[in-house]
Amino acid sequence: MPFINDILTYKSLSIVGLEKNTGKTECLNYVLSRLKDMDKRIALTSIGIDGESRDIVTNTHKPEIRIYNGMIFISAEKHYLQRRITSEILDVSNIHTSLGRLVTARALSSDKVMLSGPPDTHTLKSLIAGMSQYNVDLTIVDGALSRLSLASPAVTEGMVLATGAAYSANIPELVRKTKYVIDLINLPEVEPALKQQLDAVESGILAIDPQGCLHDLNVQSVFMLEKAKDRIFSHGNRLFVAGATSNNLFEFLRMQKNAASIELIVKDFTKIFATPDVYYSFIRKGGTVKVVTRTKLAAVCINPVSPQGYRLSSDELKAAMQDALQMPVYDVKKL
Amino acid sequence: MQLKAALAEIYGLRYMIDRLDIKSGLAHRVLLASPFIVSQKELQHQLELVSSTQKSLCDDSTKPLLGKVTIKLAQVRDIGGTAKSIQKGITLNDIELFEIKSFALIAQEVKELLKTIPFLGEQLPSLLAVVELLDPEGTRIPSFYISSHFDANLAPLRRQLLGLELMLEDSTDEQLQRDADEVRSKIEAIEDGVRQRLSTLLASHANELAKAISAIASIDILIAKAKQAVADSLVMPVIGGETTSYQGLFYPQLKEVLEQQNKRYQPIDVEVNRGSCLITGANMAGKTVLLKTLALSQAMCQYGFFVPAQSAQIALVDHILFSIIDEQSELSGLSSYGAEMLKVNHIVQMAKKQHRLLVLIDELARTTNPTEGRAIVNAVANFLDECNVRAIITTHYSGLGAMCRKLRVKGFIDSSGDTQITIRNIGDYIDYSLVEDDGTSVPHEALRIAQILGVDADILTAAANQLGANLNSNKN
């Protein structure tokens, strides 16, 4: 039973697809079907609510998740009322999403369910923390890596990454693109004292001086960086960007004389939107990137089939991927 | 006027409401919809409830109970919408049934806790029947689903479905699938039947539910009001007489700001009689704050709050009418004078119709020339005096002929000697208390205050010279 025992060491886990149809749902269904026979209490939720509509666009089947008797799940009112599963409502939150309030329920039978969850990172975090009142051992988040989603799956302790032909139909290309995401996931965390300080910062760009003091540069986002170029290094070479980081930022940092001593800190790896070439050329110049919250990569799953009909060789892809990533890789179709 | 609307009109009221420690969104909604109480009997009842709640909060035997009640209140959801659906006979869904159940459970727990505080507990009707209806197992746990206790036919069908689903996990047999779907639709039909039955039965309890909802909100609001009365040193006003009289009246927001800066706040004593009253006083002597405080205090009283004073006697009014200058009127296309006159006209029209009014006008006609301005002040003061409404008008004009009561803010204390008065300590050198005055002359402190504020000496000297020249020419 691959990687299930690893998963059980976490209190929270997100399962994230690099693209639609990279096998995230299969992966999640596999994990749940294995967990159901273990003596563990599982809770399930999802990030955001856009899954349904996008699936209508690509015309693939709806990502319903199979939930087993006794598991706790969270879904928005609208999806909850559409359910077929027999379940007992435990709580209705005051948090409103576009599909209504979030309902926490315990499954009393086993069936497929549409999941929907908190719309932002903060709510997701407190929701995961709140699961302890139901003695939940592991909270699983059906995640998404998208700039459209405000909630970041990186708040979970562990992460399972699903990648596959839908992300790229060319094996070396797919491996390279996946390797990039995994490099980002594995970025080191800042020291605990700084982590605590930066956790509370929700916006803006801050400079961190050698004494560890924070200085707000009064720049709202990296898109306004032009206006602050002259002040950026007035407190040393460490920078914290609370929001998204773009190619522009990485290019700007790379071109500086002090590039080799620059340390860029982001909230978590999902905040890096630079393309691989731009990111790596900053790293090659000697720059450092760190995160405030790091999530541990628990497993990588591949789906060799794409919805457009490409079918890559499972074994070849798996071997290439394992070789590049130096960690075990699983084919969701063979789990 | 509902409290919600008054928030926009009465200065400082929002500050007090925002600081109320209200636990549930339900109570917050009910509070904002609370009416301006003009009936003495009703208001007296409200104020006495706040007073009794305050006593219970300070009593060691009941204080812990109220603590537990507030924890329960924090779990209350606003089921106002669901309660309406019940009354209209709409079939409720599981989420709504869950809400009713958890509300009823909380209400029952609160009722139990309040057994020894009957004046609060008695407001709350028993929802035991609702609890028993939605919790047939008697677990008293706030979770909900259509369990087989609601319909005995559910259990065997659900067992059957579970068996079929187990088989379907390892098979794609179409017959099995059809069987499962058939069982599912049977279950669904029974569940819908249960929902309809529960909704119909709940409809017969709609009155108790509605009463319980408003009682829960009222308990929450009362506890919050009583807590605020203790924390902010508010006092229960004596109401219903013909006099409005305050000892130690204060403006809570300003008091707190000054206290944070370790500065002195001077509460004042004031009476608001029928008829007009003109108040003069130096700039920065607190005339505007006085008007705001009077409006705030009157509003708080008639929305059922204690008031910011050491002791207070308040005559009830039907409306509080306010004209204060720091309002934006440019956007409506009127000059500040134009906007003020329209407002004053509104006040005059109201005063013609009824006399239970509190009228507060700040620096009437100050934005026009002094000759006509003085005439307007006299006219309005005389008119309101005749209408016998409670009107207070502040002004800088001297020699006002109106035959009404006149007060003056004492103003600058003669500072002996060495301490330099600056913009920082100016408050320490002003006596904000009110004294009776004949109104023939008004304080001339404008230049002195400008000097303290650090206005350029060139201007001050020139202005002083001008004054001197005027005096001389008057003498000649």
* DSSP secondary structure letters along B96-137: HHHHHHHHHHHHHHHHHHGGGSHHHHTTSPP-HHHHHHH-TT
Return the percentage of chain B with pLDDT > 90, whole number.
56
CA geometry: angle B270, B236, B44, nearest 5 deg? 110
Q: CA B108 to CA B100: how far, in whole Å?
A: 12
Averaged pLDDT, B217-231: 95
Nearest 10 degrees: Cα torsion A289, A290, A291, A297: 90
CB pairs < 8 Å spanning A and B = 41
One domain for residues A198 and A244: yes
Q: Which residues of B touch A89 (CB under 8 A)?
A: 94-95, 98, 143-145
Residues 6+ apart with CB under 8 A from B294: B249, B270, B272, B358, B360, B392
Taking CA–CA distances from B181, the nearest residue in chain A reads A84
> Given CB atoms, is A133 within the 8 Å cutoff of chain B?
no
Backbone angles phi, psi at A213, to 5 degrees: -85, 145
**Chain A residues with beta carbon closer than 8 angstroms to that of B94:** 80-81, 89
Q: Are residues A128 and A24 in the same domain?
A: yes
Higher-confidence residue: A57 or B469? B469
Contacts of A110 in chain B (CB under 8 A): 162, 165
Q: Do B165 and A77 touch (CB under 8 A)?
A: no
A55 and A42 inside one domain? yes
Closest-approach residue (CA) in chain B for A85: B184
| Record: contact B145-A89, CB cut-off 8 A | yes
Based on the fold, state whether residues A224 and A180 are members of the same structural domain.
no
**Chain A touched by B161 (CB under 8 Å):** yes
Give the DSSP H/E element, type plus range, for residue A272. Answer: none
Residue B214 pLDDT level (bands cut at 50, 70, 90): very high
Interface contact A86, partner B, CB < 8 A: yes
> In chain A, which among 51-80 make CB contacts under 8 A with chain B?
69, 77, 80
Rounded-to-integer distance, Cα B215 and Cα B65, Å: 17
The torsion of the CA quartet B377, B383, B389, B390, rounded to 10 degrees, works out to: 20
Cβ-defined contact of B25 to A111 (cutoff 8 Å): no
pLDDT range class, residue A143, cuts 50, 70, 90: confident
Question: B17 to chain A nearest CA, in Å?
Answer: 22
Q: Which two tokens stand for residue A279?
A: 């990111």
Alpha carbon of residue B102 to chain centroid: 29
**pLDDT for A35-88, tens place per residue?**
888 889 999 998 855 444 444 444 444 567 889 989 999 988 888 888 888 899
- Over range B377-397, report the average pLDDT: 91
The SS3 assignment for A49 reads coil
Rounded distance between C-alpha atoms, residue B322 and residue B359, angstroms:
6
> What is the longest distance spanned by two Cα atoms in chain A?
63
**Residue to test with chain B: of A73, A88, A102, A112, most B Cβ within 10 A:** A88
pLDDT at A58: 47
Residue of A nearest to B188 (CA): A84
d(CA A144, CA A47): 7
**B143 vs A69, A84, A88: nearest CB:** A88
| Same structural domain, A260 and A133 | no
User: Tell me, what's the ipTM?
Assistant: 0.74
Confirm if A21 and A306 have CB atoms less than 8 A apart.
Answer: yes
Site from B28, B92, B97, B98 to mutate, A interface, most A CB atoms within 10 angstroms: B98
pLDDT at A53: 42
CB atoms within 10 A of CB B303: 23
Structural domains of chain B, with CATH: 20-225 (1.10.1420), 234-443 (3.40.50.300)
Can you give the pLDDT at residue B248?
94
Q: What is the mean pLDDT of residues B106-134?
A: 93
* Mutation to test the B interface, candidates A32, A33, A36, A86, most B Cβ within 10 Å: A86
Q: How far apart are CA A46 and CA A43, in angstroms?
A: 10
- Residue B143 to residue A80, Cβ atoms within 8 A: no
A145/A253 same-domain check = no
Q: What burial class does residue A118 get, using C-beta atoms within 10 Å of its C-beta: 0-12 exposed, 13-18 middle, 19+ buried?
A: buried
Report the chain B residue with the minimal C-alpha distance to residue A94. B77
Q: With an 8 Å Cβ cutoff, are B162 and A109 in contact?
A: yes
What chain B residue is nearest to A104 in terms of C-alpha separation? B143
Q: What is the DSSP string of B315-383?
A: ---SEEEEE-SSS--GGGT--HHHHHHHHHHHHHHHHHH-S-EEEEESSTTTTS-HHHHHHHHHHHHHH
Handedness of CA A249, A250, A253, A255 (dihedral sign): negative
Cβ atoms of A242 and A213 within 8 Å: the answer is: no
| Long-range CB contact pairs, A280-285, < 8 A, 24+ | A281/A250, A281/A254, A282/A250, A282/A251, A282/A253, A282/A254, A285/A254, A285/A259, A285/A260
* A165 and A255 both lie in a single domain: no
What is the model's pTM?
A: 0.80
Across B253-280, average pLDDT = 89
pLDDT at B45: 95
Average pLDDT taken over every residue of chain B: 88
The CATH number that applies at residue A91 is 3.40.50
Please give the residue of chain A at the shortest CA–CA distance from B159: A109
Q: Cβ contacts (< 8 Å) between B93 and chain A: which residues?
A: 81
Tell me which amino acid residue A326 is.
Q
Confidence of residue B98 (pLDDT cuts 50, 70, 90): very high
Terminal CA-CA length for chain A: 8
Could you tell me the CA-to-CA distances from B336 to B71, B339, B367 in Å, in that order? 49, 5, 7
Q: Which amino acid is at B428?
A: D
Cβ B158–A109 below 8 Å, yes or no? yes
Spatial neighbors of B339 by CB under 8 A, at least 6 apart, are B327, B329, B332
Lowest mean pLDDT, pick from A42-51, A294-303, A307-316, B118-127: A42-51
Question: Can you tell me the distance from the alpha carbon of B325 to that of B363, in angstroms, rounded to the nearest whole number?
Answer: 8
pLDDT at A51: 44
Are the Cβ atoms of A111 and B95 closer than 8 angstroms? no
Classify the C-alpha dihedral B458-B462-B464-B468 as positive or negative.
positive
Beta bridge partners of A96: A101
Comparison of pLDDT for A39 and A139, the residue scoring more = A139
Q: Name which of A89, A108, A111 is nearest B95 (Cβ-Cβ).
A: A89
Give the count of domains, chain A: 2
- A240 and A252 co-located in one domain: yes
Closest-CA residue of A relative to B97 is: A89
Residue whose C-alpha is closest to residue B307's, from B263, B392, B247: B247
Which candidate in A29, A33, A34, A92 is best for mutational testing of the B interface (most B CBs within 10 A)?
A92
Reading the block at residue A236, the tokens are 């040393």
- In sequence order, which ranges of B59-93 are alpha helices (DSSP H)? 63-73, 80-87
Question: Searching chain B, which residue's CA lies closest to the CA of residue A112?
Answer: B165
For residue A152, pLDDT over 60 is answered with yes
- CB-CB under 8 Å, A108 with B95: no
The crossing angle, in degrees rounded to 10, of helices B25-32 and B206-231 is: 80
> A61-65, A159-163, B388-392: lowest mean pLDDT where?
A61-65
Distance CA B228, CA B224 (A): 6
Same domain for A111 and A78: yes
Both A86 and A133 in one domain: the answer is: yes
Contact at CB, A92 and B95, closer than 8 angstroms: yes
Q: Among A108-117, A272-281, B179-188, where is mean pLDDT lowest?
A: A108-117
Q: Contact, B125 vs B234, CB < 8 A?
A: no
Structure tokens at A49: 């609510």
> CB distance A88–B144 less than 8 Å?
yes
CATH number at residue A226: 3.40.140
Q: Is the dihedral of CA A178, A184, A188, A192 positive or negative?
A: negative
Q: Tell me the shortest Cα–Cα distance from A314 to chain B, in angstroms.
A: 24
Q: Say what the pLDDT of residue A56 is.
A: 43
Q: Which chain A residues are within 8 Å of B162, Cβ to Cβ?
A: 69, 109-110
The answer to whether residue B135 neighbours chain A at the CB level (below 8 Å) is no
Among chain A residues, CA nearest to B148 = A86
Cα separation, B272 vs B239, in Å, equals: 14
| A50 and A177 assigned to the same domain | yes
C-alpha torsion angle, residues B236, B237, B240, B243 (rounded to 10): 170
Nearest residue, CB atoms, B144 vs list A69, A89, A101: A89
Compute the average pLDDT of residues B310-316: 95
What is the C-alpha radius of gyration for chain A, rounded to an integer number of angstroms?
21
Nearest C-alpha neighbor of B322 from the set B285, B364, B352, B354: B364
Q: Within an 8 Å CB–CB cutoff, is residue B139 touching chain A? A: no
From A75, which residue of chain B is nearest by alpha-carbon distance?
B95
Residue B432 has pLDDT above 80, yes or no: yes
Q: Are residues A105 and A233 in the same domain?
A: no
Is the CB of residue B98 less than 8 Å away from at least one CB of chain A?
yes
| Residue range(s) defining the domain that contains residue A259 | 192-291
B contacts of A113 (beta carbons < 8 Å) = none
pLDDT bracket for residue B326 (50, 70, 90): low
> Does residue A284 belong to the interface with chain B, where contact is any CB pair within 8 Å?
no
pLDDT for res B104: 95
Characterise B388 by phi-psi region: left (phi > 0), alpha (psi -120 to 50), beta (else).
Answer: left
Dihedrals φ, ψ of B322, to 5°?
-135, 130
Q: Which of B360, B347, B348, B233 is nearest to B294 (CA)?
A: B360
